[in-house]
């Protein structure tokens, strides 16, 4: 039997990695992102857009309520070891110890997926040949057993990649010290999406800034939500608070809006040293505009 797995994910797709293990155990021939075989069965796991028709499809880019595990019965599939041979370029383990998130943000697809409140050990997906581990958790610190996850990572002496980041509103001294003790790949990632969370965000920034250098952190700032919303003082204010802690805000435009004002602000926030020098709120109030854009130096 031939099994075709398709996805728009560039680095890895955990659902397909588990399906690959399942079908290989049945003796099937498994292919990733290759031409569909007319005699086989196909699965699509889409993060952004479903590109091709398949026999079974799921993921936030298709139907976030569908879990591909149900296509093979679902029993035990969540605890199956991912097939790392499907992505031979990977140099880290990848998996989920906690899927649930309590926030139910209206711009997020996670609530539609109705993730379970189940804690899992990293041993369910960690391959000992790797020295790094990537967590795809939606909100690690909302897990009552979050410390067990970190204890396992420390015991295995692993470097942690966390693509979805951490919830600043849940940061306290214990969690901050756990992050300080952990070897973090690249940076710590956080987000500030709503002005209403300012008190909790400020508290989280104060705590985490005492244990991690600002250069090792990044805070994403959502703008342009809901669609059609323009930049205003609340967006500038969020960026200023983050910058006051020495951290560069990373502006994210909701849903790839083509609004030129949003794109201008994103460019300014990322690349204009003058905004950082003057301060976001002062630069905005004075209507600052650059006379010319900074250009990269030509490569030698």
CB burial of 89-104 (b: ≥16 within 10 Å; e: otherwise) equals ebebbbbbbbbbbebe
Tell me the pLDDT band of 276, cut-offs 50, 70 and 90.
confident
Torsion of CA 39, 44, 50, 54, to 10 degrees: 20
β-strands 93-95, 132-135 pairing: parallel
Write 144-148 long-range contacts (CB < 8 A, 24+): 144/119, 145/98, 145/119, 146/98, 146/175, 147/174, 147/178, 148/119, 148/121
Cβ–Cβ under 8 Å, residues 137 and 164: yes
Instruction: Give how far the C-alpha of residue 144 lies from the chain's centroid of Cα atoms, to the nearest Å.
Output: 20
pLDDT band, very low/low/confident/very high, at 83 (cuts 50, 70, 90):
very high
Class of CATH domain 187-290: alpha beta
Q: Which residue has the higher pLDDT, 207 or 40?
A: 207
Q: Are the beta carbons of 142 and 119 closer than 8 angstroms?
A: no
What is the rounded distance in angstroms from the CA atom of residue 111 to the CA atom of residue 101?
A: 8
Tell me the domain boundaries of the chain.
1-72, 187-290
pTM for the model: 0.89
Tens-place pLDDT, residues 48-68? 888 888 999 988 888 777 778
């Amino acid at each position: 039997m031939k099994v075709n797995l398709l996805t728009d994910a560039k680095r890895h797709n955990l659902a397909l990695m588990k399906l690959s293990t399942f079908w290989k155990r049945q003796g099937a021939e498994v292919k990733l992102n290759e031409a569909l075989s007319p005699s086989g069965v196909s699965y699509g796991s889409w993060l952004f857009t479903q590109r091709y028709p398949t026999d079974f499809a799921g993921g936030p880019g298709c139907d976030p309520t569908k879990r591909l595990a149900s296509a093979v019965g679902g029993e035990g599939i969540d605890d199956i070891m991912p097939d790392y041979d499907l992505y031979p370029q990977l140099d880290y383990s990848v998996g989920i110890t906690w899927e649930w998130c309590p926030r139910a943000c209206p711009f997020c697809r996670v609530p539609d997926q109705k993730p379970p409140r189940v804690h899992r050990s990293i041993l369910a997906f960690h391959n000992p040949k790797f020295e790094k581990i990537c967590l795809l958790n939606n909100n690690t610190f909302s897990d009552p057993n979050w410390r067990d996850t970190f204890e396992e990572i420390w015991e295995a002496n692993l470097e942690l990649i966390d693509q979805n980041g951490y919830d600043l509103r849940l940061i306290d001294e214990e969690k901050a010290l756990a992050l300080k003790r952990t070897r973090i790949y690249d940076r710590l990632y956080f987000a500030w999406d709503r002005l209403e969370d300012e008190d909790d965000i400020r508290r989280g920034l104060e705590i985490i800034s005492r244990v991690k250098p600002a250069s090792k952190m990044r805070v994403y700032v959502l703008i342009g939500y809901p669609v059609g919303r323009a930049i205003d003082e609340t967006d500038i204010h969020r960026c200023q608070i983050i910058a006051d802690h020495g951290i560069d805000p990373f502006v994210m435009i909701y849903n790839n809006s083509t609004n030129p004002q949003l794109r201008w602000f994103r460019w300014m926030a990322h690349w204009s040293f003058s905004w950082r020098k003057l301060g976001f709120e002062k630069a905005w109030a004075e209507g600052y505009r650059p006379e010319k854009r900074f250009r990269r130096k030509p490569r030698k």
